[in-house]
Structures are given as structure tokens and as C-alpha cells.
């Protein structure tokens, strides 16, 4: 007999409780999804989630563990064949988004992770960084990618478990690159679905010194944790040159960045899982060798 049960999706929404209106909008957009069975948890990162819509579970973390570790904690609190991560200031405009995304994965089993196109709900210009490609092109065009915008991500739970989860030591920045790489290392593809949409306000994040520090530290850690040893200096060296060119006229940013760069080499990056050379070749053939 054909199994006609709806797919099950565990949904993790991480928040510090600072955007209650956005949080409710996002949760309601999840609860409006059709064709799937949901298990939704709101994870309070150093906050106790309260006044949640009916059907949403609550998980309070006693302190802010950072974005990757907070998401990982949420995964342990939900069940489902698929895992969907949604930021607390993001929402899903279509009630068939999840079943449509699952349909894409079902139609192409090589897809191990899916990120939708991100659109400002008020029609403002969307930041180019939301399209995770070097050659951005038309954001409505779908393609394999090698990093993800982490605010709306769907993947089979078995694939997520095999990655080892989000990079908890990172706290913030570049965890979407590692997750994408670890999907590729399973012989799968990380997919940007330009025909599916998530909403997010087009607001430039404020840059503080810790941003530059974590950006650099995690770039080094990303290489140390995931690349064959011989490629580590090539990847870090390429990004060092890129950052110097980008911020040559911003000495304060560069000082903070190089502070993080040094910390990345000195400090323990956590578990090392170097990708196979077959993965390096597949990524290279797909247009992005993991040296930049």
C-alpha cells in the first residue's frame, strides 16, 4: 500500500524575546502550513518563551548559548522526518511552502538541504547576500550553493544528524557555510530554491567589534574543522586577502578582524571532520572549490 500520511516536520524557531511581533508573525506562518504534520518549538536563548500560539512548544535556555548551539538544542526537542529552522524575524508567506519544499527534495533525492529565496515583505531592495552565490544573477534562479542564509533552512533529519549539527563553538557567523559543506560531504547537494520564498526585513545588521572578531575567528575554524589539512592555509589566505581589500579603509574593523584571526589559530575549534577529496572535486566541478 502507498503511504499517504503527511510528512512530519520538526520546526525550530530561535529567539531572545526581543522581537515579539515578528516572532508571533513567524510562528503563525508556520502553523498555517498545510499538508504536513508539525512539531514546533520556540527556543528562548537566555529567555523564557511565553504567550506563544497554541501548538507551539517552549524550550527555555538559561543563558544565550549562541545561534548554532541554540538551534541544536531545539532539534533535540522536536521530532519529524524533516527539520526546518526559521529565524524569529522571518516568516513564510505561502501556506504550502513546507510541502512544496519537501516535494522538491522528494523529486530530486540528491538535494540534502534547501534554502528559499528571501524577500523583504514591504518590497524594499533585497540584500545581495541573501543569494548565496558568488555570481548572484537572478535571485529567482535556482542552483546548487555552498553556503546558506540560515534564517530559513529545510533538510531531512537524517541529513542534519549526519552533519553533526550546527557548529556550536562558532556562536555566530559562518555556521551556514559549515552546514552546507557537511551536506555536500554526504554526496548530496545544498540547493537554493529561487522559486520558493521566505520573508525577512531588509535591514543591514549593525557591525560591532565582536562581529569582525567572530567573522575572522570562525573563518579560520571553518577551515580547521572541515578542510583537508593542505587546503587550510589556501582557504584562510584567500579570505585574509579578501578582507584586507574590503576593509583597507576601515582600520578599526581590520584590527578587530585580525584579533579574531589570531584567536582562530590559537583556540580550540572543536571537532574536526575533514571533507573527502571526492567532495572537494564535486564542489570544484559545481563551480566553487573550497579554497575561497
Q: Give the integer Cα–Cα distance in Å for 101 and 107.
A: 10
Write out the E strands in the chain.
Answer: 8-15, 37-45, 56-61, 82-87, 111-119, 143-145, 152-156, 189-199
Distance CA 223, CA 122 (A): 38
Q: How do residues 100-153 score in pLDDT, each as one tens digit?
A: 999 999 999 999 999 999 999 998 888 888 899 988 999 999 999 999 999 999
Integer Rg of the chain from CA: 19
* 197-235: pLDDT as tens digits: 999 998 776 666 788 999 999 999 999 999 999 999 999
What is the per-residue pLDDT across 13-29, written as a single tens digit (0 to 9) for each?
A: 999 999 999 999 999 99
- Closest by CA to 239, choosing from 257, 225, 263, is 257
User: Given a cut of 90, is residue 292 above it in pLDDT?
Assistant: no
Q: pLDDT of 50-92, one tens digit each? A: 999 999 999 999 999 999 999 999 999 999 999 999 999 999 9
Instruction: Report residue 1's pLDDT band, with 50, 70 and 90 as the boundaries.
Output: low
Closest CA to 180 of 214, 135, 133: 133
Q: Give the Cβ contact number of residue 262 at 10 Å.
A: 13
> 2 pLDDT band (50/70/90 cuts)?
low
Q: What is the pLDDT of residue 3?
A: 61
Q: For position 207, what pLDDT does the model report?
A: 65
pLDDT in tens, 166-192: 999 999 999 999 999 999 999 999 999
Dihedral sign for Cα atoms in the order 92, 98, 101, 105: positive
* pLDDT recorded at residue 119: 96
* Model pLDDT, residue 124: 86
pLDDT in tens, 240-279: 999 999 888 889 989 999 999 999 999 999 999 999 999 9
Amino acid at each position: 500500500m502507498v503511504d499517504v500520511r503527511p510528512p512530519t516536520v520538526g520546526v525550530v524557531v530561535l529567539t531572545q524575546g526581543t522581537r515579539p511581533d515578528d516572532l508571533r508573525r513567524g510562528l503563525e506562518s508556520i502553523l498555517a502550513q498545510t499538508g504536513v504534520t508539525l512539531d514546533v518549538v520556540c527556543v528562548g536563548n537566555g529567555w523564557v518563551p511565553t504567550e506563544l500560539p497554541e501548538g507551539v512548544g517552549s524550550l527555555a535556555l538559561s543563558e544565550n548559548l549562541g545561534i548554532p548551539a541554540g538551534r541544536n538544542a531545539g532539534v533535540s526537542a522536536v521530532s519529524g522526518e524533516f527539520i526546518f529552522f526559521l529565524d524569529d524575524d522571518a516568516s513564510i508567506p505561502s501556506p504550502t511552502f513546507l510541502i512544496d519544499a519537501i516535494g522538491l527534495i522528494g523529486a530530486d533525492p540528491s538535494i540534502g538541504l534547501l534554502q528559499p529565496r528571501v524577500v523583504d515583505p514591504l518590497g524594499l531592495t533585497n540584500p545581495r547576500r541573501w543569494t548565496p552565490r558568488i555570481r548572484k544573477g537572478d535571485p529567482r534562479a535556482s542552483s546548487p550553493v555552498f553556503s546558506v542564509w540560515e534564517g530559513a533552512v529545510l533538510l531531512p533529519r537524517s541529513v542534519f544528524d549526519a552533519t553533526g549539527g550546527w557548529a556550536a563553538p562558532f556562536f555566530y557567523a559562518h555556521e551556514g557555510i559549515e552546514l552546507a559543506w557537511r551536506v555536500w560531504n554526504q554526496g548530496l547537494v545544498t540547493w537554493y530554491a529561487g522559486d520558493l520564498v521566505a520573508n525577512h526585513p531588509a535591514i543591514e545588521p549593525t557591525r560591532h567589534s565582536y562581529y569582525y572578531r567572530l567573522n575572522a575567528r570562525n573563518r579560520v575554524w571553518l577551515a580547521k574543522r572541515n578542510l583537508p589539512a593542505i587546503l587550510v592555509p589556501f582557504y584562510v589566505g584567500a579570505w585574509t586577502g579578501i578582507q584586507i581589500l574590503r576593509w583597507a579603509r576601515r582600520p578599526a574593523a581590520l584590527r578587530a578582524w585580525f584579533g579574531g584571526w589570531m584567536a582562530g589559530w590559537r583556540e580550540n575549534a572543536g571537532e574536526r571532520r575533514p571533507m573527502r577529496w571526492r567532495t572537494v572535486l564535486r564542489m570544484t566541478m559545481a563551480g566553487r572549490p573550497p579554497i575561497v
